[in-house]
C-alpha cells in the first residue's frame, strides 16, 4: 500500500469556492474509479483569511502547505479588501505561499481548444492549434526586491520605489526548467527581457545564453525584448513554443497569451519548487484567472481552469499523466459537445452553470474510462 497523497485545497475568495467544489467532484471520481487515495484538507487564504484572522494566510496554513504533496488554489482578492494595507491584502497570501514554498517556476500553458477557436479576439487561423508554455520566474524580481515602499520627501512630495533584482542562480534555475520543457515539446525557447534598458535584463540575457550554449545547444533559442514579445504574441503567436521570462514580464505576457485562447476561464498553471534530495517537489496549482467578485456566488464561473490545474497536479506532483490526460480529454469532449459557461458562450451552444459544467466533465470521464 502506498501512502495517501496529501492535498491541500485553498479555495480563497470570489468564485474560488465555486470552482473548487467542481475539483472535489473530480477527486471523488478518481478515488472511486482509480487506485488513488487522497487526504484532502481545506483551509483559508486571501480575503476570507484576512476576515477570520487579520492576515491573508496564517503560519499554520503555510506549514500545512509545506507538508502537502500538492496545493490547489482557487483565487484571491476582491474590492472588499481594497483599503487593507499591502502586507495583509489577499494577494499577499498568495505571494507568501509562493515565496515560503520557494515556488520559483510558474508554468502557464496557453492552449487554444479547437472548439473555442472562434472565441479568440484574433483571427482563427492565427490561434487554431496554439500551444505555448510561458515559464515565469515567481519568487524574485520586482515583486520581492528591496528597497521598496512609499516614503515622504522633504519637498512634500512622496516617492514610490520597487527594485528589480536577480542573482545568477535565480535566472539559471528558472531557464533550465524552460529548456527541459522545450525538450519534450517543440524544442524552442524564447527568452524575454528588457536588456536594452535594464541591467537586470542584461544579466538575464547573458546568463540565459550561457545556459543555452553550455547545457542545451540542441534547443533552438532566441532572445526577444519583452515589448517585442508582447507584439509578436498578437501578431503571430504560433511562432512560440516555450517563453522564459521574469516575474513582472511573465505576469503580463501570460495574461496576454491567455486571452489569445479565447478565455482566461480555461487556463491552468503550476508553480513548482526545486526537487529535493528525497525527490519531493513543492507544487501549487491555480487557475490563471482571478476571483471575479462581480460574478461570484451566481453559478456563472467556469470551473475548467481549476479542474485543468488539478490535472497539472496529477501530472507534475503525482506522476499520474494518464489521469491528467483523461481529465483534459473529458474537458475537450464536453466543449466539442457544445456546453459553455457564460464566459465562453457562443451562438448555437448550450449555456450551463458552474456545477452543470463540472458534472458534465465527470460524466465524460466516466464515459472515456469505461
Q: Binding pattern to ligand IPM, positions 240-259, x when CB under 6 A?
A: -----------x--------
Decide whether 136 or 212 has the Cβ nearer to ligand IPM. 136
Interface segment toward ligand IPM; rule CB under 6 A; list 24-32, 53-61, 89-97, 190-198 = 89-97
Q: Is 196 exposed, middle or buried (0-12, 13-18, 19+ CB in 10 A)?
A: exposed
Catalytic residue, chosen from 51, 227, 336, 366, is: 227
Catalytic site residue from 194, 216, 285, 316: 194
Q: From the list ligand IPM, Mg ion, none, which binds 94 (C-beta under 5 to 8 Å, kind-based)?
A: ligand IPM
Active site residue 80: no
Q: Residues 301 to 320: which contact Mg ion by CB under 5 A?
A: none
* Distance of closest approach, residue 293 Cβ to ligand IPM, in angstroms: 13
Neighbours of 39 (CB within 10 A): 12
Closer Cβ to ligand IPM, 223 or 306, answer by number: 306
Q: Clarify whether 59 is annotated catalytic.
A: no
Torsion-angle region of residue 336: left (phi > 0), alpha (psi -120 to 50) or beta?
Answer: alpha
Q: How far is CA 355 from the centre of its chain?
A: 22
Calpha distance 315→320 (Å, rounded):
5
The CA dihedral of 200, 142, 170, 224, to the nearest 10 degrees, is -50
Query: Is residue 251 a contact residue for Mg ion (CB under 5 A)?
Result: yes
- Residue 39 is a catalytic residue: no
From the number of C-beta atoms within 10 Å of its C-beta (0-12, 13-18, 19+), residue 10 rates as: buried
Shortest spacing between CB 251 and ligand IPM, in angstroms: 5
Considering the complex, state which of residue 207 and residue 251 has its C-beta at the smaller distance from Mg ion: 251
> Of Mg ion, ligand IPM, none, which one does residue 131 interact with (CB within 5 to 8 Å by kind)?
none
CB nearer to ligand IPM: pick between 103 and 360: 103
Among 41, 91, 256, 359, binds ligand IPM (CB under 6 A): 91
> Across-strand partners of 136?
106, 245
x-marked contacts with ligand IPM along 46-85 as a string, rule CB under 6 A: -------------------------------x--------
Instruction: Pick between residue 43 and residue 251 the one whose CB is nearest to Mg ion.
Output: 251
Q: Is 255 a catalytic residue?
A: yes
316 in active site: no
Binding segment for Mg ion (CB under 5 A), chosen from 121-129, 168-176, 200-208, 244-252, is: 244-252
Could you list the residues that contact Mg ion (CB under 5 A)? 251
Catalytic residue IDs? 143, 194, 227, 251, 255
Residues that bind ligand IPM (CB under 6 A): 77, 91, 94-95, 251
Amino acid at each position: 500500500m502506498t501512502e495517501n497523497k496529501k492535498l491541500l485545497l485553498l479555495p480563497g475568495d470570489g468564485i474560488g469556492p465555486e470552482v473548487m467544489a467542481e475539483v472535489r467532484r473530480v477527486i471523488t471520481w478518481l478515488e472511486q474509479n482509480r487506485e488513488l487515495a487522497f487526504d484532502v484538507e481545506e483551509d483559508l487564504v486571501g480575503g476570507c483569511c484576512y476576515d477570520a484572522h487579520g492576515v491573508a494566510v496564517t503560519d499554520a496554513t503555510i506549514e500545512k502547505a509545506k507538508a502537502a504533496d500538492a496545493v490547489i488554489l482557487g483565487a484571491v482578492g476582491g474590492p472588499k479588501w481594497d483599503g487593507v494595507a499591502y502586507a495583509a491584502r489577499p494577494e499577499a497570501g498568495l505571494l507568501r505561499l509562493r515565496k515560503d514554498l520557494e515556488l520559483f517556476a510558474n508554468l502557464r500553458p496557453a492552449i487554444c481548444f479547437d472548439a473555442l477557436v472562434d472565441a479568440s479576439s484574433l483571427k482563427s487561423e492565427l490561434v487554431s492549434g496554439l500551444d505555448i508554455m510561458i515559464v515565469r520566474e515567481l519568487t524574485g524580481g520586482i515583486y520581492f526586491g528591496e528597497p521598496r515602499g512609499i516614503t515622504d520627501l522633504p519637498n512634500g512630495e512622496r516617492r514610490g520605489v520597487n527594485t528589480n533584482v536577480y542573482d545568477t542562480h535565480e535566472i539559471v534555475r528558472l531557464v533550465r526548467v524552460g529548456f527541459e520543457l522545450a525538450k519534450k515539446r517543440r524544442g524552442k525557447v524564447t527568452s524575454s527581457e528588457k536588456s536594452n534598458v535594464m541591467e537586470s535584463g542584461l544579466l538575464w540575457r547573458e546568463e540565459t545564453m550561457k545556459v543555452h550554449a553550455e547545457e542545451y545547444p540542441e534547443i533552438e533559442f532566441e532572445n526577444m525584448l519583452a515589448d517585442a514579445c508582447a507584439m509578436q504574441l498578437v501578431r503571430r503567436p504560433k511562432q512560440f513554443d516555450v517563453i522564459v521570462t521574469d516575474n513582472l514580464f511573465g505576469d503580463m505576457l501570460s495574461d496576454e497569451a491567455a486571452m489569445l485562447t479565447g478565455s482566461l476561464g480555461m487556463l491552468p498553471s503550476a508553480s513548482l519548487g526545486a526537487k529535493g534530495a528525497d525527490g519531493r517537489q513543492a507544487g501549487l496549482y491555480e487557475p490563471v484567472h482571478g476571483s471575479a467578485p462581480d460574478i461570484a456566488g451566481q453559478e456563472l464561473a467556469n470551473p475548467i481552469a481549476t479542474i485543468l490545474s488539478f490535472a497539472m497536479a496529477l501530472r507534475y506532483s503525482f506522476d499520474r499523466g494518464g489521469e491528467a490526460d483523461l481529465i483534459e480529454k473529458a474537458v475537450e469532449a464536453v466543449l466539442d459537445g457544445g456546453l459553455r459557461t457564460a464566459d465562453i458562450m457562443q451562438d448555437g451552444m448550450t449555456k450551463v452553470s458552474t456545477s452543470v459544467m463540472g458534472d458534465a466533465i465527470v460524466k465524460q470521464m466516466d464515459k472515456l474510462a469505461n
